Homo-oligomer: A and B are copies of this chain.
Amino acid sequence: MIKVALMGTGNVARHLFDAFMEHGSIEVVQVLGRRNESLEYFIKRAKVAVADQFLEKADVYILAISDDSISQVARSLGNLDGILAHTSGSAPLEALPKTGRRGVFYPLQTFTKDFSVDFSKIPFCVEAENEKDTALLVQLASTLSDHVVEIDSDQRKGLHLAAMFTNNFVNHLYYIGQQICKEHHLPFEILLPLIQETTRKLEKLSPLDAQTGPARRRDTTTISRHLEMLKDSDYKEIYIQLTNSIQKTYGQKL
């Protein structure tokens, strides 16, 4: 049985909590939050408290809080017997005080309120400072997921940056596509099969091989026609930058 205490009440905390509660080999001994209301989600299933220090003993204390507050909150916690781990993709292990056992417990996923996720498929990236602590975090993560990897803080920073491009920025391109559809009185849903196929291809093809379209084909007629159509100067700039980058990748500039 691994005893876990959780600080934080946002999307990551809620999703982790739900996942922990599903497994008999994990006990959530306490959830801490800043306000009573935000603890409501947890109150029926675990001990909760409005507190800035953990009141129960645990093997792993998880900080599921915003990147910016990790250092400050961690310092205020005082000495803990277990591992103190944050869940951030971009904060280094060193954001935690070096006086204690510190670790990272980073689920590589985008969490949205009321949108359930299947943790078994989510890669967990763990990091600690010695084999014993690493083993414990691996054990905890493996209870939830089939994909647990040990990576260091530098690699995790790279991974987080890569995720910016493949998740945050990709979603914004979906948004731009939706705006263009709106302008032409078309339902955005018409694009979904194409979007799904673009993703599905990655299972068998590298993105280098999967690239299609006017930029790669050097079809300047279509590119000029598209640039004429784009009224929004930001979208036009994004179009030009991405087209240039594709053409450089395949050996020719715009």
Contacts and interface: CB of A to CB of B under 8 A. Distances in A.
A43 interface: no
Interface of A, helix, strand, loop or mixed by DSSP? helix
Interface stretch (A31-39, A56-64, A130-138, A155-163): A155-163
A196 interface: yes
Nearest to A181: B162
Contact of A163 (B170, B194, B199): B194
Interface stretch (A1-9, A75-83, A203-211): A203-211
Contact of A123 (B162, B174, B175, B190): B190
A166 B194 contact: yes
Interface stretch (A17-25, A44-52, A97-105, A227-235): A227-235
A197 B159 CA distance: 16
Contacts of A213: 110, 164, 167-168
Contacts of A215: 168, 172
A55 interface: no
B154 A170 contact: no
Determine the interface band of chain A, counting residues with CB < 8 A from chain B: 35 or more
Interface string A139-168: 000000001010100110111111111111
Interface string A164-189: 11111111111111101101111010
19 contacts: A90-B225, A108-B190, A108-B191, A109-B194, A149-B190, A155-B185, A162-B186, A164-B239, A165-B177, A166-B173, A166-B174, A166-B177, A167-B213, A171-B207, A172-B207, A172-B246, A173-B242, A176-B245, A192-B202
Interface of A: 67-68, 90, 108-112, 115, 117, 121-123, 147, 149, 151, 154-155, 157-178, 180-181, 183-186, 188, 190-199, 201-208, 210-216, 219, 221-222, 225-226, 229-230, 234-235, 237-239, 241-242, 244-246, 248-249
